[in-house]
């Protein structure tokens, strides 16, 4: 695959966030290989539906249209926010690369920190995971489910409709909107979604040449960390709509993994940590999930489903 070849076609959702993320990956790939990349916009079901994402089951609604284009051969590869990908892998596609992760944490866009918001203040987020953990920190606030792109959500704060919104710090960073963050939640306060802050570069499983070519983008430490986080989610049999948070990072020797399932009312939680080999992240995640299930995590997820 030399630089004189035709440009690779990178499928992306059409939102500003998605095209920005895809553009960063395209630029990096060209920088590393000299191969030109062109973006191909794809509209997904998650982009056009007005339904609440938690009612749709969350994962997959932004993914299937891009995968259809991959299978058809209309695009060569696709970039997803890793936290949007279902944990059960479609055998027709493969994650060829997971680039180095950006900030995994959640961030509050507001005029104040969470602790300083008045009782009853309205804070918007579309994520049951965030709402459950926010309720642990401030049970006296009014948490409002919202949808829309970052602009739309931040606009609700600017207009005064909401006193704050919680978004992924990585996304705000990629859009150059860090200045609007009033507080970044440490993972001890609010565990991020499994894979948050990381991107997945996906192509067809039968394209060995392309898999090898895209692998220059892969970051082994990020891949190990997010594999452990997603293994927890998979073993708990919970989609991205469930109140499950997980975060993993290595200390150079071992992978340290923390995960939590929080009741939607924020009053109960099962939170566990473990450490293990960087070479077996999936086992680490499965084992931690088993410990959590033994302590009642499955019950909390079941309550969310009903």
Is there a catalytic annotation at residue 50? no
Is there a catalytic annotation at residue 130? yes
Query: Which positions ≥6 away from 271 have C-beta within 8 Å?
Result: 191, 258, 259, 260
Is there a catalytic annotation at residue 240? yes
Which of 240, 250, 272, 287 is the catalytic position?
240
Rounded Cα distance, 116 and 132, in Å:
19
Rounded Cα distance, 136 and 263, in Å:
9
Residue positions counted in the chain: 306
Is there a catalytic annotation at residue 84? yes
Rounded Cα distance, 47 and 195, in Å:
21
DSSP state for residue 34 in the 8-state scheme: -
Q: Do the Cβ atoms of 244 and 238 come closer than 8 Å? A: yes
Sign (positive or negative) of CA dihedral 129, 130, 136, 139: negative
Which of 129, 204, 223, 230 is the catalytic position?
129
Angle, helices 16-33 vs 150-158, to 10°: value is: 130
Which of 67, 135, 153, 230 is the catalytic position?
153
Which of 67, 69, 76, 84 is the catalytic position?
84
Place of tokens 């992924």: 168
Cα atoms found within 13 Å of the Cα of residue 78, Cβ hemisphere only: 34
Is there a catalytic annotation at residue 207? no
Which of 147, 268, 271, 286 is the catalytic position?
147
Rounded Cα distance, 192 and 130, in Å:
8
Which of 13, 67, 83, 101 is the catalytic position?
83
Give the residue numbers marked as catalytic: 83-84, 129-130, 147, 153, 240
């Amino acid at each position: 695959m030399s630089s004189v070849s035709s440009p690779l076609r990178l499928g992306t959702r059409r939102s500003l966030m998605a095209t920005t993320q895809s553009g960063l990956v395209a630029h990096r790939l060209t920088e590393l290989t000299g191969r030109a990349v062109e973006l191909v916009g794809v509209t997904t079901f998650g982009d056009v539906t007005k339904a609440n994402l938690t009612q749709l089951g969350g994962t997959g609604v932004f993914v299937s249209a891009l995968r259809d284009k991959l299978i058809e051969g209309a695009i060569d590869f696709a970039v997803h926010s890793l936290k949007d990908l279902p944990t059960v892998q479609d055998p027709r596609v493969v994650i060829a690369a997971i680039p180095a992760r950006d900030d995994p944490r959640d961030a509050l866009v507001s005029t104040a920190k969470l602790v300083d918001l008045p009782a009853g203040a309205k804070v918007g987020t579309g994520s049951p995971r965030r709402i459950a953990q926010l309720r642990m920190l401030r049970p006296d606030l009014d948490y409002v489910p919202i949808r829309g792109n970052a602009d739309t959500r931040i606009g609700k704060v600017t207009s005064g409709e909401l006193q704050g919104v919680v978004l992924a710090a990585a996304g705000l960073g990629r859009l150059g909107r860090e200045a609007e963050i009033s507080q970044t939640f440490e993972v001890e306060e609010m565990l991020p979604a499994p894979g948050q802050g990381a991107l997945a570069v996906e192509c067809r499983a039968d394209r060995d040449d392309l898999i090898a070519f895209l692998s220059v983008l892969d970051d082994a430490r990020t891949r190990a960390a997010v594999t452990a986080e997603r293994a927890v989610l998979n073993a708990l049999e919970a989609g991205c709509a469930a109140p499950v948070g997980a975060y993993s990072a290595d200390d150079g020797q071992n992978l340290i993994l923390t995960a939590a399932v929080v009741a939607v009312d924020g009053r109960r939680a099962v939170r566990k940590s473990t450490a293990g080999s960087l070479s077996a992240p999936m086992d680490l995640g499965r084992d931690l999930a088993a410990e959590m299930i033994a302590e009642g995590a499955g019950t909390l997820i079941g309550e969310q489903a009903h």
